[in-house]
Structure 1
Amino acid sequence: MVLATAQQFAYAVEAAGSIRELGDLLDAIGREMGFRYFALTHHVDIACAPQPAIRIHNYPGEWEAFFDAEGLGRSDPVHRACHMTSLGFAWTALPRLVMLTRRDDEILAHSRRVGLADGFTVPAHIPGELAGSCSFATARGQPLRMEWLPLAQFIGTAAFEGARRLSGIRGAEQDRPRLSDRQRDCIYWAARGKSDWEISQILGIGHDTAIQYMKEARGRYGVGNRTQLAIHALYDGALTFTDALGR
């Protein structure tokens, strides 16, 4: 039954023609899993986000007003916990994921006062994009139904990908610079601290050739130094942090 529900939701998300329609789907599937509320959002101050940002939710209006007035887009404890895991987590796990401050305790207490009793959040980590998440929350008196959390994990991930498509963010990937294999090889070793000469020896190419590959790669990203080049490659997914750290 769960598998069938997940498949049906995935098909419905792909067929959705608007963010509002996606929100209706999340509301319906959330209620089926025992949740009263949902929130799919990037972790930014929506009013002044530096790039297109997503936020769709049916949280209480009182919570939205408090959240925006306090500028909690980046500092909300649930959002901070998303940086510590790629798996969905129940809000009761927050003390295990992040060090909660007195202010965090006040924020969580306020969320409960306005009706968000308990919840489950699915992090969204896309290289080169704003961090985000999809959360589901229960109302007062509603228990967190643990048997539905694996489905909630899938639903949150599929919904976030659908939101990226509907907002035009996913299509923007096609505009990213494309590196050749040799350019990526050079950036890989540069990120690990190797000089152009050392890179040429490792790859078995001429010193001037290594310099040229690095110059071309910087040109594709429009940056002027090796550090900026490595950062852009990391955010684009051309490199991983494991590559850069040599682990």
Structure 2
Amino acid sequence: MGIERIVTQFKRVVETSRTAADLINATADVTQWLGFRFFAITHHVDLAASPNPICLTNYPSPWVNYYQRNAYGLVDPVHRASHMTPAGFWWSNMAELIRLNDRDDTIMRLGRIQGIGEGFTIPTNLAGGLHCSCTFSAESGFMIDSVKQGLAQLAGLMIFAAAHRLWPGRNAMPAELRPKLTPQQLACVQLVARGLNDRQIGEILGLAEETVASHIKNACERYGVKKRTSLVAFALLDGAIMVSKL
């Protein structure tokens, strides 16, 4: 009976959610059935500065506000750990995936104060290559059996797919109406996304440093942004570029 109910909730999440409120309500039902208290469906970005990021959660509002104010989305150890594995993982096992530091300890300690001590995070990589995840969490020491853990993994993937479908981001714009970059602009933006500066990009593409800067400036103008980080975010969201470690 339990598995039938969770599958029904999956179908509700994927097929019948028409608004963010619908999705939040459906996800809250799934979260409660799994035994967790909280959920967070989010892009791994600076939520306050990024264009239309996905962020659906029932975390306590003081924690959400503090988290966004400090741009923890860019340094959150849970987010960093999720970039190291395609499988769902427990927060208590993060040290097996990344090296934790004092700032990580502070973030996790502050979360525990809000009743967010243990979580199960399911990494996803939708929305043009941006890292993102669905997390179910509860108090410290919380655990579920292997069957529910497998269901949580499936739920996380399906819930984020639903969020992506509903998300009012730039990918909602028809492809033919999105800004079009030239081949050289695309090549430069692709390398900016890898963290290279103008000199390094010029060496790779055989261009003068000033030419690289011009291509990036023109690409920013086509997207109507001023910062390179915003340019990369929009290009990723549009599917114009993708980032890989390989």
TM-score with structure 2 setting the length: 0.70
Deviation, structure 1 residue 81: 0.8
> Structure 1: which 5+ runs fail to align?
178-219
Tell me: CA distance 1:98–1:56, structure 2 relative to 1, closer, same or farther (3 Å). same
Q: Deviations over 1:28-71 (max 9, x none)?
A: 1111111011111111122210x321111111123212212221
1:31 and 1:46 mapped to 2: Cα distance?
A: 26
What does residue 103 of structure 1 align with? 103
Q: Give 2:48's aligned amino acid.
A: A
Answer whether contact 1:40 1:160 (CA < 8 A) is retained.
Answer: yes
1:164 and 1:153 mapped to 2: Cα distance?
A: 17
**Alignment of 1:224 onto 2:223:** no
Partner SS for 1:128: coil
1:117 and 1:230 mapped to 2: Cα distance?
A: 37
Q: Give 1:145's aligned amino acid.
A: I
Deviation, structure 1 residue 146: 3.0
Q: Deviations over 1:197-238 (max 9, x none)?
A: xxxxxxxxxxxxxxxxxxxxxxx7523178449779xx6499
Partner SS for 1:47: coil
Deviation, structure 1 residue 241: 5.2
Partner SS for 2:9: helix
2:42 and 2:32 mapped to 1: Cα distance?
A: 19
Q: Give 2:184's aligned amino acid.
A: G
Tell me whether 112-121 or 59-68 shows the greater mean CA deviation.
59-68
What does residue 137 of structure 2 align with? 137
1:239 and 1:40 mapped to 2: Cα distance?
A: 21
Q: Deviations over 1:100-151 (max 9, x none)?
A: 01111111111111111211001111262421111001136x7211331111
Deviation, structure 1 residue 176: 7.4
Partner SS for 2:45: coil
**Structure exhibiting the larger radius of gyration computed from Cα positions:** 1
Tell me whether 6-15 or 128-137 shows the greater mean CA deviation.
6-15
What does residue 117 of structure 1 align with? 117
Aligned-residue identity in percent: 31
Answer whether contact 2:9 2:29 (CA < 8 A) is retained.
Answer: no
Partner SS for 2:80: helix
What does residue 146 of structure 1 align with? 145
TM-score with structure 1 setting the length: 0.69
> Structure 2: which 5+ runs fail to align?
194-235
Q: Give 1:73's aligned amino acid.
A: G
Answer whether contact 1:2 1:151 (CA < 8 A) is retained.
Answer: no
What does residue 52 of structure 2 align with? 52
Q: Give 1:146's aligned amino acid.
A: D
Answer whether contact 2:86 2:123 (CA < 8 A) is retained.
Answer: yes
Answer whether contact 2:47 2:73 (CA < 8 A) is retained.
Answer: yes
